[in-house]
Structure 1
Amino acid sequence: MVMDNVKILLHAREIYTIEIYYLFEEQFLKGGSCYQECVMLEDGVYKYHVWRPNVDIIRHEVIFNSRQMDIGCSCKLFTELGILCCHCLRILNVHCVSEVPEKYILKRWTKKVVEVDNFDIMSRVDSGNGASSVWLLEIIRKFHRLAVYSQENIEGQKICEEAIVDAKRRLEAECGGSLFEECDIGSPSGVIKDPSTRRTKGLRNRRVSSVISKKYNKARGRKHLANMVASKIKSAVQSQVEDNILNIAGDGYLVHPSSGGSSFCHVNTMSSMEDN
């Protein structure tokens, strides 16, 4: 943990998997750099405008019901990703909420689901219904243990080689075909020889590029060029949009509402100061 004695982070670490916890922690740290302004309070329902200074041009609207522990943000990160955003975590931290509300804990991101999945996989392997890749890893480990155990004993080596010969014979009778066509199972001389396709020392392995590889390289070059052009256009457009937003905002600021339409709300700070 990057911060000690933060109860909501401790709770998130207990319930979430390590990958999801890192995402949650990242959002919490972003929330630490946010500012908030309470613009409404009615029957335990707070409305906040939350933003990061010198980063966010448009502020987000967070509505928090302290009685029912309901919280929502106009950025809609929870709808897309399934974890609370930095704006919501900022408000929860301001109200000293020590645990993630139960309604905002998705079961698919918790440790319990991972433990159940692992148990199901191991139970299928133990019952013989596991995937072929899992069985392959297990059988390789078993043969490797036998080989390591018998490598210093001549009689043990013979037992392993006889077992391989017997397994080869039975598999060929059961599955058909022939195994170990290019080389013998054992080496009578005990000397490991180089393969017949060994290259001359110092000769590099040069492969002719396939048609697919050439097309892929051309496509990657075009994509890289397109990204460079897009980045230049994007920076110019972003600066123009920022200037337009600042001109529209004037003495106030724009807020992305949490509900209803996609139009922004304009808040005039001068008029709000005069009202106060």
Structure 2
Amino acid sequence: MVVNDGCKCKYHVWRPDIDIIRHEVTFKPINLDICCSCKLFSELGILCCHCLRILHVHCVSSIPNKYILKRWTKKVVEGRNVDIASVFYNGGVPSSIWAVEISMKFQRLIVCSQDNNVARQFCDEAVENARKNIEAEIGDVNIEEGAVSSSSGIVQDPSSRRSKGVGNKRSSSVIEKKYNATRGRKSAANKLASITKGPVQSLVLENISEIARDGYLVHPSSGGSQFVHFNKNVDID
């Protein structure tokens, strides 16, 4: 506790072994008003552990109702159920459910009419009349997009169909282009290194053999930069 003027108390709350920053909690015992500098309640609607600790210190047995928001309780679900029931009671149906039901109805009509020319004509006329009425209500509707025309009445493949074995071609992204360019430069560098590596290694071996002659060179075990030369023809006792 850092302040206690009789009307409100201020506390600094932290965990000594974990927290580096201390939070200030202001508490009014008269009306159980509490707030914290971490602003968790104002942002999420949930009391933070600092406020809960101060309520526990003042022996508050339950969280005040004003700090229990409706959106975190079961009452929210009950309210949603009431809203949905009222929508159905008023004769309305959610758009997703209506789309599934009307699609199934049209599908049944189409399946039943596909083998009868007169029934198929009725379906075509019904679609055309429905399109005119809907366009008068919401504007132009294009229902011919993506359709495949067939004068023989046989279902054909779309014009954009790829031949068998041909893959899907797509444009390369900027990242892919940069990656390919970098990989090309790396491949060229490796190829150049492999070409020059052989002659350089042979030249180094020739120089070493000239220096060593009948002996050989040993890298120093100390930190010096001089190689140690041993002669094979000299006996070492």
TM-score in terms of structure 2 length? 0.47
Which has the larger share of helix? 1
Higher Cα Rg, which structure: 2
Structure of higher RCO (CA pairs closer than 8 Å, 6+ residues apart): 1
TM-score in terms of structure 1 length? 0.42
